[in-house]
Structure 1
């Protein structure tokens, strides 16, 4: 059984040595990979000194790092953790065990259930953003995931090799969660402790700009994964507005047999036609997505057969 610990890094010289040592202590059998994403400090040098396998990713952004990790590294099981020492290595086996027992394809390190995240995290807007993203995804995909944005996760080989990473930056956690939900991968959450960054270590997240990117990702993935529901919402919106604009025109015509509100009539007809077109787009794209899901299942079957051999 081959286990790989994946650590994406950008300017983590203060913490990376401890993170590597902690995982070597609790998982001595694992290969530890540090992917340096154009760090301007001594992250790579320190990682090498502590015995990690160091690789470079020159395209900036965590999503780009994860894409390269998933493509390059071959293992049976993977543990992904940030290099900022906020996630204790002692929980790695709790993330790994459900994968080995085939109870999960992806395990999620849930920072929120133990309450340590709210005690340790000093960025209140992050709490608000996490809660909003969690609510949106759970509503859209009828799930009950407690921690969508955590960077501490475990994967089996099938999930890693079948995960199409499209996001470039910190939206990657959201993308992985939605992909797993849509493709019916087994997900299991494991309650973990969380600790804030040590003094001198700075977060790379920008609450507002990165939060906007995450919301944009949810919006786009909602359109891609559930087009019928997405376009039906717009269908109802255009239809309701069209009726609101058009009803006075119809009332006037019923009373006088004449239309004086010509602009309103044109707008109402345009909105109703737009509503019909939007509904047709949703039906067509829903058919395309169902065919894509069918092909994806066949791809997973081929992937399983490949690794069994």
Structure 2
């Protein structure tokens, strides 16, 4: 990374007229060399206008993008596509995160020690104290526990919206979800593809009075369940489909025990429906076992392909840097 890397501060915003100007002022003062990019996600208030005024008044270098497709994932995707930088910082527009944590957040990336730095809201206890939605704490804990178990890691906060990323990480990370699943999705992608993750404890405060969260307890609960389903299906197909196969085969053995008992004792099968059920369950179980093996092989193949692409990309960048230095 160059001595003075270009830094882009990405702020997705939807109806954040109450807080967006203050967020821009605080972060531009703390990091004046950064380009501040506000993504107005089809706000119905004057979030975009206030952001432009705040950029002018603070003398910050930056711009306001407009993204018509709803969802935080769509807003961040727009920024990543339109803005080039060596380091990307992502924050929320609701004043929950603080610029005082920027030096600690940036340090691992600038030193070349991390591809993704996540602001850990939980270790300090601030999130549990400030957050007024207890079901969100439960959802965070469930998803975090599953990810830690599947990937054999000890992450503390997988859903934090305060992140610092290298260009290498941004270029290779797909954003497939439109909404607030973005953070979980990028964390899992980083783990699955062996990017370096560092967590930094940060200060967290709840939204100021009069500012309303875009999260919904019941909708987000359903999203947590859907996220768990996708994690198992997409990243651990052997666990997901293999578990279904084992359950089906066990039921098949239980159901098949009765016809077998009939045949051993009476030399005749009286429970024909049970025999048919056992046969069907066994066939389904074997089918799911086959699906598990096939998808695991495909998953491993694409991991190897991704690794080779990363190495090729790294070699190209090294060659460009060498040519530029020699010139």
Q: 1:265 aligns with which of 272, 275, 298?
A: 275
Deviations 1:92-147 (A, max 9, x none): 22111101111110001000000111111111111111111111111122221111
Aligned counterparts of 2:216 and 2:153: Cα–Cα separation in 1:
27
Q: Quick one: distance in 1 between partners of 2:252 and 2:278?
A: 4
State which of 33, 36, 48 in structure 1 corresponds to 2:40: 36
Superposed, 1:12-91 pairs within 5 Å as: 12-51=16-55, 52-91=62-101
Give the secondary-structure state (helix, strand or coil) at the position aligned to 1:19. helix
| Matched position secondary structure for 2:311 | helix
Partner residue in 1 for 2:132: 122
Paired residue for 2:166? 156
How far is 1:231 from its partner? 1.4
Name the SS of the counterpart of 1:50 in structure 2.
helix
- What's the CA shift for 1:305? 3.3
Q: Which stretch shows the higher mean deviation, 204-213 or 41-50?
A: 204-213
CA distance, structure 1, for counterparts of residue 229 and residue 151 of structure 2: 13
Decide whether the 8 Å contact of 1:242 with 1:269 is kept in 2: yes
**1:181 counterpart (191, 194, 199):** 191
- The answer to whether the 8 Å contact 1:158/1:303 transfers is no
Q: Is the 8 A contact 1:13 1:42 kept in 2?
A: yes
2:182 to 169, 172, 177: 172
Give the alignment's TM-score, normalised by structure 2. 0.92
TM value normalised by structure 1: 0.97
Which residue does 1:142 correspond to in 2?
152
Q: CA contact under 8 A between 1:20 and 1:47: conserved in structure 2? A: yes
Structure 1 residue aligned with 2:313: 303
Question: How far did residue 211 of structure 1 move?
Answer: 2.5
8 Å CA contact 2:122, 2:128 repeated in 1: yes
Confirm or deny: 8 A CA contact 1:71 1:161 kept in the other structure. no
Offset from partner CA, 1:5-36 (integer Å, 9 cap, x none): 00011000101111111111111110010001
Provide the rounded CA distance (Å) in 1 between the counterparts of 2:232 and 2:83: 30
Residue of structure 2 equivalent to 1:279 = 289
Q: Which runs of 4+ in 1 moved over 6 A?
A: none
Instruction: Give the Cα–Cα distance (whole angstroms) in 2 for the partners of residues 272 and 29 of structure 1.
Output: 64
Partner of 2:119: 109
Could you tell me how far apart the structure 2 residues matched to 1:183 and 1:230 are? Answer: 19
- Counterpart-to-counterpart distance in 1, 2:293 and 2:257: 27
1:257 and 1:92 map into 2 onto residues whose CA distance is: 78
Q: Deviation at 1:307?
A: 3.6
By how many angstroms is 1:222 displaced? 2.2
Contact 2:139–2:224 (Cα < 8 Å) also in 1: no
C-alpha distance in structure 2 between counterparts of 1:196 and 1:213, whole Å: 22
Q: Give the C-alpha shift of residue 217 in structure 1.
A: 2.6
Query: Deviation digits for residues 161-206 of structure 1, max 9, x if unmatched?
Result: 0001101111111101110110010000000011000001000001
Closer, same or farther: CA 14–307 of 1 in aligned 2, 3 Å: farther
How far is the alpha carbon of 1:262 from its aligned partner? 1.1
Gaps of 5+ in 2: 56-61, 321-327
RMSD of aligned Cα (Å): 1.2
